[in-house]
Structures are given as C-alpha cells and as structure tokens.
Chains A and B, each alone.
Chain A
Amino acid sequence: MDSTEDLTPRILLKQILITEPPRTPVGSSEPQAAGSSEPRRSRRDAEPKTPQNILRRSLRNKIQENITRKSLPLKRRTASAVLRQQAPSSSMMFDDGETPRHLLRNILQTEPVKSPVVHDKVAPAELQPPSEDNTVTRSRSSFELSGLDLPDVTMGNIASAAKGLSRKRPRQSLNVTAFEKRLKAAEEEPENSIGDHSSLSLSSSSSLSLKTPFVDVHTEKRGLQRRVSRRRKITEEEFCAARSKQQMGDVSREALQGREVGGEDTNLAGITLGLSKLSEPDVTVDIVNCQTALYDQHDALTSNFSITATQDKPAVMATQLQRDIQEEEEHRDEERQKSAEEEEEVVTNMEEDEGKENVDKTRDVSLKPEEKDDAVGFQTFDLDDGAEAAVDSQSEDVEGGSEEEEAAVGSQAEDEGVEQSPTEEETAADSQSEDVEGGSEEEEAAVGSQAEDEGVEQSPTEEEAAADSQSEEEAAVSPQAEDEGVEDSPEDAAAASPSEEEEAAAGSQPEDEGGSVVGVNQLQRDDEEKSDGADRQTDQDYNDEERNQEEERHISRRAFRSEGGLILPVVKATEGLSLIKSKSYSALGLNTSLERIQNQTGKPDWAKPSLQHLDEDSWDVNDPADRKNASFHLLRVSHDAEVSRQQEDVEAAAEEAGEQEEESDEEEDDNEDFPGKTPAFVREKIKFFTSSPPASPSVSKNLPASSASEALPAVKPKQARRRQTGLSRRETVLPKTYLTSVFKHFAKTKVSADVFPVLNEIMDEFFDRVAEDLETYAAHAKRKTIEVEDVELLLRRQGFVNDKVPVEVLIEKYLRLDQRKILIPIATSGNVVIPKIRK
C-alpha cells in the first residue's frame, strides 16, 4: 500500500488494520468472516481457483483473523474493521493458528518488505489452508497468534507494499504456495526455513521464498512458545506503534512514533528500536544543544576577554611607547628628583634647580628624538657594552669637571663599571664629562661615579662617599680622595697621574667646584647643557656655592640618572661639550677627567676632547671663575645628562657615544700622558666643536670658551669632518634621494615632501633593529661576519619569507640583476656556476 513507507512490521500491521475491519475473536468473526469471506471469495472467484490460490487466501484470512484477534484484546479497534474483513478468513485460520502465527513471527523476525495489499491476497489464501491444520494450535495461542499474525501480516503486507517491489509479489505468490505446502507439512516436518528476507513469512522453508522474512515455520514451531511470549510484547508494542503511526500521519508517523512510542509506551521497549533511538537522540541532542549553547556563550565571553586582552596589549604598548617618548624627560626629572631626594638626603642640590631647568631644556631638546628611540627600546639602562658607559663617561668628561673629580669619578666609575655594569661607567663618564666643564672635578667625578653607582647598584654607599668627599673638603680632600680612589683602580692609574695634576690644578678650584660630586653632576648636566650654551653663561654666576649644592644634588640625581639613559645626554653632552669645554677647560682640569674617562673604557671621545679643552683652558687661563663657570655648566649639563641618561637613553647615548667613542677611542691612547694628551684633546675638542654647531655660538660668548675654541680650530679640520660625517650619517642613514625615490615608487601615489624627515627617523630606527638582529644572529652562529643566511633568517622571522614564498622569489622581485647574480647561482656554459657555490 504505502510503498514509500519504511518497511517495518508496524507499517504492515497498520495497513492491515486499516484495510481490515476489526473483529471479535469468535463471535463476530464468523458473520464477518462470512461477509468478508464473500468478497474474498469473490476475489477468489476472480482468481483462478487453483489450489494454490485457495491456500493463499486461506492463509491470508487466517493471518488477518489472528491480527484482528490480537487487535481486539488490545482494544484497538480503529482498524479492527479492517481486520474483521479478514475475520472469517481468520476464523478459518484459527485452525491453522500456528501457521499464521508462524507467519507473523517470521514476519516480525524478518523485516517486512512486502506490501500489505499483496499480503492480503496472499494471506487469506495462505491462511485458509493452514487454518485447518492449526486450529488447535491457534486456540492455544490465539492471542499470541493473533498478535503474531498481526505484525507478521502487517509487516509482511507493509513490507511487500512498502517495497513496492513488484518482484515480491510474484514471489509472494510463490511463497504462499510454498508456505502453504510447508504449513501443511510444517508440523510434521521440521523444515529448515529459508532465510526469507521478504516481509511475508508465508514462504516456506522451501527455496521459493526468495525474500520473505518468514522464517521457517518448523523452526518456529520449536521455539514457538518462547518466541511467542516474546513476540507478544513486541507485537503489542508494535501494534500500538503501528496504530499511533496511523493516527499521527504518514510521513511524520515514523518519526513521531519513535518518540511517542518511547514516551508513551514504556512497554514498547523491544519493538520500537528505531523509535527509541529517535527519542533518545532528541534528548541527547537537546542536552548537547543546551550544553553547546552554554559553551558557546562561555566561549564568546572568554574570547571577548581574550580579544580585549590582546587588544589592550598593543594599545598599551603604543601608549607606553608614546608616553615613554614624550614623557621621559618629565618623568626622568621627577624620578631623578625623587630618587635623588630619597636616596640622598645628605646631598643637597644646590644647583639642582638651575641644573634641572637646564636639564629639562637640554633633555627635552636633545633627548626627544633620541630618547624616543631609546625609550622605546631601552627603558632600563641596558648597557650592553661598556661602550655606552664609556660614551657617557666620555661625554661627561668632555663637558668638563675638574680633573681630579673626573679622575675620581673615572676611577670610581671605572670601579663601578668594571664591577657592576657599563651604566656606571656611563654615569661616571657623564659625571666626568660634566666635571670637565666645571664643578669640583673630584667631587664631581666622585659624585658622578657615585651617582652612577647609586643608580646602578651601590647608590647609597657611593653617594655617601661622594657626599663625604664633598663634605670633607671640597677641593683638597676630595681631589685627594678621588685621586686615591683613582689610583686604586688599575685603569685609573693612567688617570691618576693626570688626576693628580688635575688635582693640583683643581686644588685651586676646589672650593668653587664644591666637591667633585657637584662637578660630576654638572658634568652630566653639562652634557645636556651643552646644547644650551646660554645656560652656561648664566650658570657661571652661580658657580661656587650653587655648584656645591648642585653637585650634591647632582650626586643624588646622578645616581638615578646615571642608571638610565646616559646615551642621549652623552650625545647631547658631546654637542654641549664643545661649549662646555671652552668653559671647563679654563675652569677645570679636564685632563684628569678625560683620563678617567678613557680609563673607564671607550669613552675617550668626549672625555678626551673635553679634557683637552679643559686642560688647555685650565692651563691657559687658570681662572677659577672660568672653572667655576665651567664646572657649573658641567654640573648642569651633568644633571641633564644624568636625568636623560639614567632613564632610558643609555643605549641611545651609547650608540651615539659609540660612534663618538670610536673616534675617541683612538685618541684615548694618546691621552695617557698629560702633555701628550694635548694633541688628542685638541683633536677631540675640534671634534666636539664641529659636532655641536649650536654650541659654538655660546662658546664664542665665553671668553674662556673662545680661547679654547681658538685653540681648537687648528685641530678642528680633521676631526670636524669626522664629526660631521658621523653626525650626518646619523641623521640620514639613507641618501634622501634614494629614499624618496624608492618610497614614491612603492607608494604609487603622490607623496608630499614633508614625509621624508619622518621617513628618515623611521629608517634610522629600522636600521638599528636590523643591525642588532643581524649581529645577534651572526654572534649566535659564532661568526663575526653577517652572512646571507643571517639576513635570510631575519627575513623569515619578519614574515616576508615563508614556505609559500621562498627567498629567491623576493630576490628576483626586488633586486637588481647584479645583486641577483651574487645571490642566486646562475649556470653558465662550460658547467660553470656563478657565483661559485662554496661548500
């Protein structure tokens, strides 16, 4: 009937129920049977009245009757009418109860494939013959049989109908006949039921039953009772299911049945396998859905958090960077001040205010560009190399600071630097440079070194030492102490001699300088101040007392600052050094400071020139005033330098200092001897002068400065060029034309001209990073040469090269042919490969 329906016993039952009217087991069956039999008979009449047909009909009727019987006890009579039609046949079939039962059982066991319609015809025919035989058995198991029969029939019918397979029908007919035969001989002979797959189990064990699900009747008989019992439940459930299905609907029946059955009839455990399954998954699905929903939400939440978190980071970074760049100076000042105050109460910052002002200015001006880079990169003074420290120290020295102070500072710084970190050296250098300019050399140096130390590690102790030195006797004592201190350090040995000399010279200035500490501070400040030449002039007035005070403050400040960015101040210091030099030279014995600086390491550039200047000035003009001024300026500069350095510029300054250092390194060696230093100093002086064009005007203002500057010009030319080149190189790492052309080419749109300064800065930063990375890679490979593979690794890490994009592609895309030739081997004639592949 319903070919589209799934072929299940239920379906078959349903159909049977529908088709057949319900009947009472016995009473109604007969009249109905009679009535129904008639049509059947008529049907039969229509059919050829062959014994086979008759048998089939009888069987069918029996089955139907059984079905109806079962339906009646179940009290489901919706389809009973349908079944009743078969009642008469079924009544007859009662006699053949077993056989229809068997049939049904077989049907149940095997999935029904045939349609009920077919079965109707067959069943009655089949039922009829066996009815005679199975009356007895039927009576016994009428209910069972009926139940069994129902499903069997239904199944069989449904199956047959469902399959809509025409082939079944003819088979059914065959099966019927075979079945009938079997039925007759079923009881007698245990026949092996043929595994019939067809829905109707009517087929006998004979080979006829091609696909009838009907199991062998005989076999069934043996295990009849058991199966029947089982069957009952199943059948009942199935029946209920079938009914429910019918009621529900056609298409959705099955689906609903599953649930309904599962939900409604607990008894339907066995039957509705599919149904139960259907029901279960629903729950599980729901559960899963609920869970998943929850999970999703949770995930969303977490993801949101994660997103926000990740977002925060770059934002934070950016803000931090910006802050660093912009606020460094301010923070530094604050921090330094705070730290200074905190750490050293003793040290009074007399000149701090002045120095601070200068520091701020200088810092702001000079530090900004450099600081940005430095701040971003290195907030903590990571002095990778002593060079940085050296640079700082040099810068400090250059600026000035009493020789003694410088020496002391240098010694201290050296000790510190050697022991602790380059930062100290830097600070020492800074302090030294400051000393060069002015302020008590020794004290300054001590202070500077101390400050550095403090900033780095031994803040309190050194400061105290510096303070002590200051407190004791600014001039004589401190220089002596410093000298001693200087002597202690091996490096200072060289400086010691000059320091002593300086001390002598500085001895006259001790008071003015107010202790090396101050001078040191000044040095640092001076570095910064250098850029502000004007400040120096004004500072001169304050020198003595203020300086002392400042020095103390400087010391404290230095401690903090020294730690930080010494670089920028150093750089600035170099610029300002020229200015300061003029002053410091006259005022302070720069030699010692320079020497110290040199000793410290690689800080010779600034130190030397400053020292030279100082020496010259000092020798030329032993003018305490000048010295004071110089020291004063140095102090200020040192302050500035300190501040700027301490925080972040260490590296930047170091870098810059490195350049300068390189130049000065050469000169350092020359400066061992005081007299011998002059040429080196002169050279350095010249360098500084050339390097700091802004400083020059201020320098000119100073008489001493002018004198010093006059002395310088002689040496200037040589070093000026170097300075310029260094500076110019620093300003634009790439030729502007090249840079602009390339950028325009890549931009493919108009590019305004104001872009290029920005571009320069960016490229500068970029090259810094590239150089650092490449150097790291080469060092990692224990090489001193940057090789192609290093750069390739860098490209890979940056993401330009990956598995999809090999290096060669990029090479071919961007580089010129001459470059490509070097990188990608080309095979030429004669089995020659260019370039030679080395291995």
Chain B
Amino acid sequence: MLKKPSKLKSTIRSKAKGKVNIAAGSEAMIELLTLLFLNRLAEEAKAKALEEKSATIRAHHVKAVAKVVLRKARG
C-alpha cells in the first residue's frame, strides 16, 4: 500500500483481450480494487485460520476462501 504496485498497468493491458488504454486516474482506481480485494481475501483467510485455531494463515486457508472471494468480486 505504501508502495506503488509495479506493472499494474501493463498487467491489465496484457490481460485485456483487445487494445485498451488505461487512464492515469483509473490506474489508481485499479490499485484500489486490488487493495480492496486483498483486504477481503485476507480477512476471510484470517477467519478461516482462526476457525481452525491457528494464529498463522497458511496456504490452505487462503485456498479455501479464495473461490468464494473471487466469486464475490465478480461484477
């Protein structure tokens, strides 16, 4: 968050099917998107980890919640 995620723009551009440009402000918004998504993911994973009584978030926690969070972040 305190650092700018690098190559976000290029990532989006590469993933987009056609040719798209990304406005300057929209790049910041996409950052916001990723942050929100990560936030949600982290929260869910934390809850899942706590559910298993583990203070550490492990990979399988994240995996288990990933599907749900991804589906929620559709649009």
Q: Other than the known A755-B61, A810-B32, what 15 A-B pairs have Cβ atoms closer than 8 Å?
A: A318-B67, A729-B14, A738-B5, A742-B35, A743-B41, A747-B46, A749-B56, A750-B56, A758-B66, A759-B62, A765-B70, A770-B15, A772-B15, A784-B20, A798-B36
Q: Contact: B55 with A798, CB < 8 Å?
A: no
Q: Contact: B31 with A815, CB < 8 Å?
A: yes
| 6 A-B pairs closest in CB distance | A791-B29, A746-B42, A797-B75, A771-B15, A819-B28, A785-B21
A183–chain B nearest beta-carbon distance, Å: 87
Contact A752:B59 (CB < 8 A) given known A799-B72, A816-B2: yes
Q: Does any Cβ of B come within 8 Å of A658's Cβ? A: yes
A56–chain B nearest beta-carbon distance, Å: 85
CB interface residues, B 47-62, toward A, < 8 Å: 49, 55-59, 61-62
B46–chain A nearest beta-carbon distance, Å: 5
Q: Contact: B58 with A752, CB < 8 Å?
A: yes
Q: Contact: B36 with A810, CB < 8 Å?
A: yes
Q: Contact: A767 with B21, CB < 8 Å?
A: no
7 A/B residue pairs, CB under 8 Å, sorted by A: A762-B62, A772-B15, A788-B25, A791-B26, A791-B32, A797-B75, A823-B28
Contact A786:B28 (CB < 8 A) given known A729-B7, A757-B59: no
Chain A, Cβ-Cβ closest to B65:
A762
A372–chain B nearest beta-carbon distance, Å: 11
Chain B, Cβ-Cβ closest to A754:
B59
Contacts of B46 in A (CB 8 A): 747-749
Specify which of B5, B21, B23, B75 lies most central, judged by the most chain A CB atoms within 10 Å of its CB: B75
Q: Contact: B11 with A752, CB < 8 Å?
A: no
Q: Contact: A754 with B26, CB < 8 Å?
A: no
Contacts of A778 in B (CB 8 A): 20
Chain A, Cβ-Cβ closest to B21:
A785
Interface residue from A758, A774, A800 paired with B20 (Cβ < 8 Å) = A774
Q: Contact: B32 with A815, CB < 8 Å?
A: yes
Contact A775:B17 (CB < 8 A) given known A747-B42, A770-B30: yes
Q: Does any Cβ of B come within 8 Å of A284's Cβ? A: no
**Secondary structure at chain A's binding surface: helix, strand, loop or mixed?**
helix
Contacts of B1 in A (CB 8 A): 741-742, 745, 814, 816
Chain A interface size range: 35 or more
Q: Contact: A785 with B23, CB < 8 Å?
A: yes
Contacts of A762 in B (CB 8 A): 41, 62, 66, 70
Contacts of A739 in B (CB 8 A): 38
Q: Contact: B42 with A743, CB < 8 Å?
A: yes
Residues of B within 8 A of A (CB-CB), count = 59
Q: Contact: A769 with B23, CB < 8 Å?
A: no
**Cα A649 to Cα B21 with chains together (Å):** 26
A737–chain B nearest beta-carbon distance, Å: 8
Q: Does any Cβ of B come within 8 Å of A811's Cβ? A: yes
Q: Does any Cβ of B come within 8 Å of A779's Cβ? A: yes
Q: Contact: B23 with A749, CB < 8 Å?
A: no
Q: Does any Cβ of B come within 8 Å of A187's Cβ? A: no
Contacts of B12 in A (CB 8 A): 767, 770-771, 774, 786
A607–chain B nearest beta-carbon distance, Å: 20
Q: Does any Cβ of B come within 8 Å of A655's Cβ? A: yes
Q: Contact: B7 with A735, CB < 8 Å?
A: yes
**Cα A503 to Cα B46 with chains together (Å):** 62
Q: Does any Cβ of B come within 8 Å of A327's Cβ? A: no
Residues of A within 8 A of B (CB): 314, 317-318, 321, 384-385, 387, 655, 658-659, 726, 729, 733-735, 738-739, 741-743, 745-752, 754-755, 757-759, 762-763, 765-775, 778-779, 784-788, 790-792, 794-795, 797-800, 810-811, 814-816, 819-820, 822-823, 835
Chain B, Cβ-Cβ closest to A761:
B66
Q: Contact: B15 with A794, CB < 8 Å?
A: no
Interface residue from A384, A755, A784 paired with B57 (Cβ < 8 Å) = A755
Contacts of A746 in B (CB 8 A): 38-39, 41-43
Q: Contact: A751 with B56, CB < 8 Å?
A: yes
B20–chain A nearest beta-carbon distance, Å: 5
Q: Contact: B58 with A786, CB < 8 Å?
A: no
Contact A786:B35 (CB < 8 A) given known A755-B59, A758-B62: no
**Cα A691 to Cα B29 with chains together (Å):** 33
Q: Contact: A785 with B20, CB < 8 Å?
A: yes
Contacts of B7 in A (CB 8 A): 729, 733-735
**Cα A757 to Cα B58 with chains together (Å):** 11
Contacts of B13 in A (CB 8 A): 771
Q: Contact: A752 with B38, CB < 8 Å?
A: no
**Cα A747 to Cα B28 with chains together (Å):** 22
Q: Contact: A798 with B72, CB < 8 Å?
A: yes
Contacts of A822 in B (CB 8 A): 24-25, 28
**Cα A786 to Cα B27 with chains together (Å):** 9
**Cα A347 to Cα B41 with chains together (Å):** 50
**Cα A525 to Cα B37 with chains together (Å):** 38
**Cα A752 to Cα B45 with chains together (Å):** 12
**Cα A741 to Cα B4 with chains together (Å):** 12
A516–chain B nearest beta-carbon distance, Å: 31
Q: Contact: A800 with B34, CB < 8 Å?
A: no
Contacts of B29 in A (CB 8 A): 788, 791-792, 795, 823
Q: Contact: B2 with A795, CB < 8 Å?
A: no
**Cα A207 to Cα B4 with chains together (Å):** 94
Interface residue from B5, B22, B55 paired with A786 (Cβ < 8 Å) = B22
Chain B, Cβ-Cβ closest to A771:
B15
B12–chain A nearest beta-carbon distance, Å: 5
**Cα A779 to Cα B13 with chains together (Å):** 14
**Cα A35 to Cα B25 with chains together (Å):** 108
Interface residue from B17, B22, B67, B72 paired with A772 (Cβ < 8 Å) = B17
Q: Contact: B10 with A729, CB < 8 Å?
A: yes
Interface residue from A729, A774, A815 paired with B28 (Cβ < 8 Å) = A815
Specify which of A739, A766, A790 lies most central, judged by the most chain B CB atoms within 10 Å of its CB: A766
B24–chain A nearest beta-carbon distance, Å: 6
Contacts of B32 in A (CB 8 A): 791, 795, 810-811, 814-815, 819
Contacts of B26 in A (CB 8 A): 774, 786-788, 790-791
A743–chain B nearest beta-carbon distance, Å: 5
Q: Contact: A775 with B18, CB < 8 Å?
A: yes
**Cα A734 to Cα B14 with chains together (Å):** 13
A311–chain B nearest beta-carbon distance, Å: 13
